[in-house]
Amino acid sequence: MTDHLVTSYDQAETLLRRPDLRQALYDAGAILMKDVLVNLHGAEHRVRRSAEARVFRRDLFVHYEKEVFPRTLEETLRPFLAEGRADVCSLGYAVMLNLTADFTGIDRPERSAEETGALLGILRTLGKAPTLGQTLAQDKDRIRAEIEQALALFDQRFFAPSRARRQALIDAGTPEEALPRDVLTALLRDPRTAREPGDVLMKEAAFYLLAGAFTSIHSMTHAVHRLFEWFAAHPDQAHLRTDIDFLQRAAWETARLHPSSPITRRRPVAPVDIPGLGHLEPEDTVTIDLLAANRDPARFGADAAAFNPLRDTGAQPWYGLSFGTGIHACIGRQLALGVLPRDDSGAQDRQYGTIPLVLHALMRHGARPDPDNPPRMDTISGRPNWAVYPVMLG
């Protein structure tokens, strides 16, 4: 078995778009990941994705961003504002978890801190599944047992009641416009996916929570750090602190420099010759170094490794390959980072994305580094993310 490492942006982009290469990053995390969308290929992937894509529509994003999200955000911020400080990571978990649970179709009937904490605890354990391949051999069995336990808890407390409520509405002939608009409802309504075994849908829902919430939280915290550094180095640009268009560009630039997973991996579905790599057998893999590809000077210029939110990116947002490309391109990208202004769109239906909106709220409330509590990186997950990021507010 040979692993081929790819670091150039152009080659990485071409490879990710090849239909004869399939997902290989989650082989070791099969306990959760085996039958989830990002691990499916060919017809299976097409069917599942098309059922779920019905939820990820612009009108729903705009509605969510204008009507639902501002309330959730202000409610979540209130206790932090009262204290005059926040840990950006904890704040991120509270905001993004609720958002992703709504889109996934996981009810939190109590809406209590205990309930959110329980869901978060489950997800923190499940979050170890995608990276099981990079875990020390002696820890693997223990972590697998923890994941089994967390899945059982998720099923019992969150998934089964959410599924039963949706199924009852569907069985009662509820008209489409009165049904919840979420991934679970979409899967239960589509005859092609409704018959999937129960644990497949349960794991799909758990995967959605991880894919949507954890990525957004890490990206948001990196953006806060990058912005603090940038404003400290550019005091003449202080007026941009609360400029939402600028903050959206900063979020794109952050996404490029800090992909949520530093690598992705593929393997061929059958023996194949690939330009630049040679002959590959199905047991060979291609590791795509997203961190390197997104800083490739051949694509992004001589200052590719620098954080420059004022970078001229022409008519394209430049988040590099941080949201993937090809069949597995992120389904939630627009929800997280919005769209560029269009000639025909007014301020009311311009969609900025949840990360820029949280950045905007933090900056409006005067977020600045906490001099007594420096931020700390996560040393447990093996991924270069912040674990704690204290800020002062007000």
Q: How far apart are CB 14 and ligand HEM at their closest, in Å?
A: 14
The amino acid present at 374, given as its one-letter code, is P
Shortest separation between residue 311's beta carbon and ligand HEM, angstroms = 18
Distance (Å, whole) CA 170 – CA 386: 42
Stretch that binds ligand HEM, among 192-200, 205-213, 292-300, 306-314 (CB under 6 A): 205-213
> Which residues from 45-64 bind ligand HEM, rule CB under 6 A?
49
| Site map 71..100 versus ligand HEM, x via CB under 6 A | -----------------------------x
Residue 285 as a binder of ligand HEM (CB under 6 A): the answer is no
Asked if 336 touches ligand HEM (CB under 6 A), the answer is: yes
Cβ pair 257, 307 in contact under 8 A: yes
Considering the complex, state which of residue 125 and residue 216 has its C-beta at the smaller distance from ligand HEM.
216
Please tell me whether residue 335 binds ligand HEM under the rule CB under 6 A. Answer: yes
Q: Which is nearer to ligand HEM, 210 or 304 (by Cβ)?
A: 210
Q: Cβ closer to ligand HEM: 81 or 263?
A: 263
Q: Which of residues 122-151 bind ligand HEM (CB under 6 A)?
A: none
By CB under 6 A, the residues from 213 to 242 that bind ligand HEM are 215-216, 219
From the CB of 52, what's the least distance to ligand HEM, in Å? 7
* Residue among 12, 38, 95, 132 that touches ligand HEM (CB under 6 A): 38
- Shortest separation between residue 275's beta carbon and ligand HEM, angstroms: 21
User: Can residue 187 be called a binding residue for ligand HEM (CB under 6 A)?
Assistant: no
Nearer of residues 38 and 257 to ligand HEM, judged by Cβ: 38
Q: Is the CB of 203 or the CB of 328 nearer to ligand HEM?
A: 328
Q: Does 330 bind ligand HEM (CB under 6 A)?
A: yes
- Judged by CB under 6 A, how many residues of this single chain contact ligand HEM? 25
Q: Is residue 119 involved in binding ligand HEM (CB under 6 A)?
A: no
Q: In the set 260, 285, 351, 385, which binds ligand HEM (CB under 6 A)?
A: 260
CB of 290 to ligand HEM, least distance (A): 7
- Is 322 near ligand HEM (CB under 6 A)? yes
| Rounded CA separation 267/285 (Å) | 5
Report the residue from 51, 132, 184, 211 that binds ligand HEM according to the rule CB under 6 A.
211
Whole-angstrom distance, CA of residue 93 vs CA of residue 305:
28
Beta carbons within 8 Å of 253's beta carbon, 6+ residues apart: 226, 307, 308, 309, 311, 318
3-state SS string over the chain? CCEEEECCHHHHHHHHCCCCEEECCCHHHHHHHCCCHHHCCHHHHHHHHHHHHCCCCHHHHHHHHHHHHHHHHHHHHHHHHHHCEEEHHHHHHHHHHHHHHHHHCCCCCCCCHHHHHHHHHHHHHHCCCCCHHHCCHHHHHHHHHHHHHHHHHHHHHHHHHHHHHHHHHHHCCCCHHHCCCCHHHHHHHCHHHHCCCHHHHHHHHHHHHHHHHHHHHHHHHHHHHHHHHHHHHCHHHHHHHHCHHHHHHHHHHHHHHCCCCCEEEEEECCCEEECCCEEECCCCEEEEEHHHHCCCHHHHCCCCCCCCCCCCCCCCCCCCCCCCCHHHCCCCHHHHHCCCCCCCCCHHHCCCCHHHHHHHHHHHCCCEECCCCCCEECCCCCCCCEEECEEECC
Residue nearest to ligand HEM (CB): 332
Considering only 324, 338, 375, 390, the residue that binds ligand HEM (CB under 6 A) is 324
- Return residues touching ligand HEM (CB under 6 A): 23, 25, 37-38, 49, 100, 103, 208, 211-212, 215-216, 219, 255, 260, 264, 322-324, 328, 330-332, 335-336
